[in-house]
């Protein structure tokens, strides 16, 4: 992790403040200088052609929102730490990718956008799937302009198509982890040099359950059957059966012997794996996005249902700082960023005319030779994916399947439920410590569930599991009573 020098951000902020004073405080200011430049924090790497992209963007923002933006990028590994310091110190900024969203919203770090979004960003707000609004409310208020993208997700096992063809393996009827056995056995017998099922310490099985916090904590509900009870997933018969299946695959050599600690990089574009688990959503257009990223054909089969969850609703949230001096302008900027195709195409594809051009009466985008990695931004962290003009390889049938998938996806019963841990903080820490001992081993199949789960549950009970579950159930009951709002 790169060392962060706080002074550098302070200098940048002072510079931004100086620009604002010049724009708003000078008696000689022209109409052009009255347009504020908002400071926006983004996670990730700065595009190499940032100056070109931001110039294109600001031309439209100045006209439609009466403001411009200056984007400051913070690396993936540094973002949480740096934003924590920025928020706690009260340093000024205008817009940012939310970090620790619910907690910071409750602390008053973010502007309440419940009434501001419909007023200042009506088009973008109107087009949000209701799951985004419900899933991001904190104490009944909305503090974010979420990016409309993969509102649902499902776990899939993805296969390297070249191996499917080479060894004549049919995966068309696979719909569960147990169904993988025949394909795994055939491949493993034919090629032991390539890993049959690539997992690792962060691997988590797919299921019909939705987790109250995340899969690192043993609290879940039945998402498919609209569960009303908080359960320990490791006591759920179906969940445990999948863990036993993984253990069987581990014993047969389909999973790496050191899977619980193995952080080996096996690129999607490589040939070091036969299968792996991926997460897909509607804007991945089936296996299109995976195959495009891999530069080779990927074939996937579902391991869990498509579910709209709180984690998906908050996948990428824009927030407005409560310290911003330009709150209304900031919301207008977010409205344009999430509704204007010209801005979105320019950011996601790159420079128009060099990286892309319109075809089919502006209904499709054709990528040109100038389209290349690190010269554009990612759709999922830029703006409303539905407003991005599809590329020529996205068919009308794929778009239709996307929209139908969104409509038919299951809505988790805990969508929007935010567990308040204030009465059980020490117990939550103790439970986390227990799970850190057992999680990777159980999930990758390295550990035998029949002997490991009883030991883990005994330690969880000692750590205060019953107290946390009781408090969580109490809050969940209240959530359900109030109509999940």
Distance (Å, whole) CA 207 – CA 250: 19
CATH architecture group of domain 6-148+315-347: 3-Layer(aba) Sandwich (3.40)
Q: Determine the Cα angle at 314 with ends 312 and 315, to 5°.
A: 60
Question: Mean pLDDT across the stretch 465-481?
Answer: 97
Residue 448: CB atoms within 10 A of its CB come to 15
Give the CA distances from residue 118 to residues 60, 129, 457, in Å, rounded to whole numbers and listed in that order.
Answer: 21, 14, 47
Please state the pTM of the whole predicted model: 0.85
Q: Give the E-state strand segments of 232-372 in sequence order.
A: 273-280, 298-302, 307-308, 317-320, 356-359, 364-367
Share above pLDDT 70 across residues of the chain, in percent, rounded to a whole number: 93
Over 50: is that where the pLDDT of 30 sits?
A: no
Q: What is the pLDDT of residues 48-102, one digit of tens each?
A: 999 999 999 999 999 999 999 999 999 999 999 999 999 999 999 999 999 999 9
Give the CA distances from residue 346 to residues 55, 110, 341, 355, 393, in Å, rounded to whole numbers and listed in that order.
Answer: 10, 28, 8, 9, 18
Share above pLDDT 90 across residues of the chain, in percent, rounded to a whole number: 90
Question: Mean pLDDT across the stretch 148-167?
Answer: 97
pLDDT score for 32: 52
Q: Do 6-148+315-347 and 161-274+390-485 come out as alike in CATH topology?
A: yes
Q: Report whether 37 contacts 19 (CB < 8 A).
A: yes
Residue 404: CB atoms within 10 A of its CB come to 11
How does residue 33 score in pLDDT terms, banded at 50, 70 and 90?
low
The domains of the chain are located at 6-148+315-347, 161-274+390-485
CATH architecture group of domain 161-274+390-485: 3-Layer(aba) Sandwich (3.40)
């Amino acid at each position: 992790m790169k060392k962060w020098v706080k002074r550098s951000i302070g200098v940048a902020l002072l510079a931004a403040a100086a620009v604002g004073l010049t724009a708003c405080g000078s008696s000689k200011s022209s109409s052009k200088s009255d347009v504020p430049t908002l400071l926006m924090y983004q996670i990730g790497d700065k595009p190499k052609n940032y100056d070109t992209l931001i110039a294109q963007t600001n031309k439209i923002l100045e006209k439609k929102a009466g403001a411009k933006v200056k984007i400051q990028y913070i690396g993936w590994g540094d973002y949480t730490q740096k934003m924590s310091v920025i928020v706690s110190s009260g340093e000024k900024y205008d817009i940012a990718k939310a970090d620790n969203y619910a907690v910071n919203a409750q602390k008053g770090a973010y502007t309440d956008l419940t009434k501001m979004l419909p007023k200042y960003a009506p088009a973008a707000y109107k087009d949000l799937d209701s799951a985004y609004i419900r899933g991001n409310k904190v104490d009944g208020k909305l503090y974010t302009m979420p990016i409309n993208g993969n509102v649902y997700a499902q776990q899939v096992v993805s296969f390297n198509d070249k191996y499917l063809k080479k060894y004549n393996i049919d995966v068309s009827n696979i719909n569960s982890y147990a169904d993988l056995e025949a394909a795994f056995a055939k491949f493993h017998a034919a090629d032991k040099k390539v890993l049959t099922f690539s997992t690792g310490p962060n691997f988590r099985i797919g299921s019909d359950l939705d987790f109250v916090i995340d899969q690192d904590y043993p609290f879940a509900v039945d998402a498919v059957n609209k569960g009303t009870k908080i359960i320990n997933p490791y006591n759920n018969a179906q969940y445990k059966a999948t863990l036993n299946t993984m253990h069987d695959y581990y014993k047969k050599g389909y999973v790496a012997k050191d899977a619980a600690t193995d952080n080996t990089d096996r690129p999607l574009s490589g040939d070091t794996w036969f299968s792996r688990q991926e997460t897909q959503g509607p804007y991945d257009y089936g296996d299109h996005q995976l195959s495009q990223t891999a530069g080779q054909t990927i074939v996937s089969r579902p391991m869990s249902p498509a579910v709209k969850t709180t984690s998906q609703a908050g996948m990428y949230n824009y927030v407005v700082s409560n310290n911003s001096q330009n709150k209304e302008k900031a919301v207008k900027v977010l409205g344009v960023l999430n509704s204007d195709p010209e801005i979105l195409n320019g950011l996601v594809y790159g420079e128009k005319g060099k990286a892309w051009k319109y075809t089919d009466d502006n209904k499709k985008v054709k990528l040109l030779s100038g389209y290349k990695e690190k010269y554009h931004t990612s759709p999922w962290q830029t703006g409303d994916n539905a407003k991005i003009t599809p590329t020529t390889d996205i068919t009308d049938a794929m778009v239709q399947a996307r929209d139908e998938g969104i409509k038919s996806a299951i809505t988790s019963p805990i969508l929007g439920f935010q567990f308040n841990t204030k009465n059980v903080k020490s117990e939550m820490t103790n439970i986390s410590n227990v799970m850190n001992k057992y999680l990777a081993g159980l999930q990758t199949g390295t550990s035998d569930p029949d002997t490991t789960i009883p030991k883990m549950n005994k330690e969880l009970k000692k750590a205060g599991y019953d107290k946390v579950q009781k408090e969580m159930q109490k809050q969940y009951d209240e959530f359900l009573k109030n109509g999940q709002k």
